[in-house]
Amino acid sequence: MKLETEIDNIKQLISHAQNIAIVGHHNPDGDCIGCCVAVSAWLESKGKAVSIYADGDIPEKFSYLPRVKEFNQHTEIEHFDLLIVLDLSDVERLGVWKDLPAKSDKIIVIDHHVKPAFKQADILIDLPQYASCGEIIFELFELLKVKLSFEMATALYTSIICDTGCFLFSNTTSNTHRVAEALMSKHKIDIEGINFKNFRAYDRRNIPVVTYVLKNMEFEFGGRLSISVLPYKVVKKWNLNYESRHGLFKYATDANGVIGSIFITELAKGEFNVSLRSLGNIDVAKIAQKLNGGGHRNASGATYKGSLKTLKQILIAEFAKVID
Ligand SMILES: [Mn+2]
């Protein structure tokens, strides 16, 4: 549904709510965290009581956003007037916070994934043409004539750069740049510092893992598809969490000639996290859907239980249909 047509309904639900929960997806990323921080700062400025949730650790690099310390603190609250779900397409991705919809009188979902499935939503804004959920939130604030604080602008800029790979991915549009321009020109946000933390800084303790990934990458279809696997023994040996795995993807996706990539992490014996990336028209959201996952056309994910061999066969067969 469009933002403009729902704006009065959103206004009304918010004005009637005092005790509001905000939730993002599990393993929260920069887009999700930025949206939660910006929306929370706005609602608090309106005198609302706000609790923020996202299952999993908040990566250390986002500590420049002061509000990140407030995530997942209010575990005892039994009822909310309103739940605002951000950057989350599927109730499954609520993780440990899956009971929040049942605790809440009303639910607003704002998301940019392909076909969000959130049946309980009173208002569902799904705009997959937007590169980040933060870009939608910026336009929501524009429509509501919200005056952005430094913190809100920093949070929304974080959202935008994290989901566009700092304006490198094909989801980047002229509107993305318009929003970034507005955030940069009106607020003195620390562009260099934020970009460095998100796109340049790496943890040197991760060098052995990077080496492992580079040494073990496989290629199919004459180098057009790359496949990387982090087996459980590697995950365990280096105690890899979501944050330390996150930056490894670039080696799989950015080899010259690669237009599709598969990154498989065995999180427990026989349990796999699958990340898929692509360039151009190759729709990896559709491939992820075959494994009951989802995401965006050029970036998607799924989980899989079974044998690695079968998983690779399924994925290679799916890529064969679109890559050849
Ligand atoms: Mn997002």
Tens digits of per-residue pLDDT, 260-279?
A: 999 999 999 999 999 999 99
CA 259 from centre of chain: 21
- Which own/partner contact pairs does 8-13 have at CB distance under 8 Å and 24+ positions apart? 9/122, 9/123, 10/108, 10/123, 10/140, 10/144, 11/144, 13/82, 13/106, 13/108, 13/122, 13/123
Predicted local distance difference test score (pLDDT) of residue 48? 98
User: In angstroms, what is the C-alpha Rg of the chain?
Assistant: 20
Q: How far is the CA of 141 from the centre of ligand 1 (A)?
A: 17
CA 298 from centre of chain: 13
Predicted local distance difference test score (pLDDT) of residue 185? 92
Q: Which residues pair with 220 in a beta bridge?
A: 225
At a CB cut-off of 8 Å and minimum separation 6, what does 140 contact? 3, 7, 10, 110
Task: For the chain, give every residue range classified as CATH 3.10.310.30.
Answer: 205-323
DSSP assignment of 183-198: HHHHS---HHHHHIII
Q: How far is the CA of 63 from the centre of ligand 1 (A)?
A: 19
Closest CA to 140 of 150, 154, 152: 152
| Strand ranges of the sheet holding 294-295, from the earlier edge strand across to the other edge | 218-220, 225-230, 260-268, 271-278, 299-305, 294-295
Task: For the chain, give every residue range classified as CATH 3.90.1640.10.
Answer: 3-199
Q: How far is the CA of 133 from the centre of ligand 1 (A)?
A: 5
Report yes or no: 58 and 37 within 8 Å, Cβ to Cβ: no
Cα separation, 55 vs 133, whole angstroms? 18
Q: How far is the CA of 309 from the centre of ligand 1 (A)?
A: 30
Predicted local distance difference test score (pLDDT) of residue 114? 80
Q: How far is the CA of 163 from the centre of ligand 1 (A)?
A: 6
CATH code for the structural domain at 3-199 = 3.90.1640.10
C-alpha distances (whole Å) from 258 to each of 136, 251, 277, 281 are 31, 10, 10, 13
pLDDT digits (tens, 9 = 90+) for 228-247: 999 999 999 988 887 777 77
Report yes or no: 104 and 94 within 8 Å, Cβ to Cβ: no
Q: What is the pLDDT along the chain (324 residues), one digit of tens a residue?
A: 689 999 999 999 999 999 999 999 999 999 999 999 999 999 999 999 999 999 999 999 999 998 999 999 999 999 999 999 999 988 989 999 999 999 999 999 999 988 767 889 999 999 999 999 999 999 999 999 999 999 999 999 999 999 999 999 989 999 999 999 999 998 989 999 999 999 998 888 889 999 999 999 999 999 999 999 999 999 999 888 877 777 788 888 889 999 999 999 999 999 999 999 999 899 999 999 999 998 889 999 999 999 999 999 999 999 999 997
The CATH number of domain 205-323, selected from 3.80.10.10, 3.40.50.300, 3.10.310.30, 3.40.50.2300:
3.10.310.30
Q: How far is the CA of 299 from the centre of ligand 1 (A)?
A: 10
Cα separation, 102 vs 208, whole angstroms? 44
Q: How far is the CA of 264 from the centre of ligand 1 (A)?
A: 20
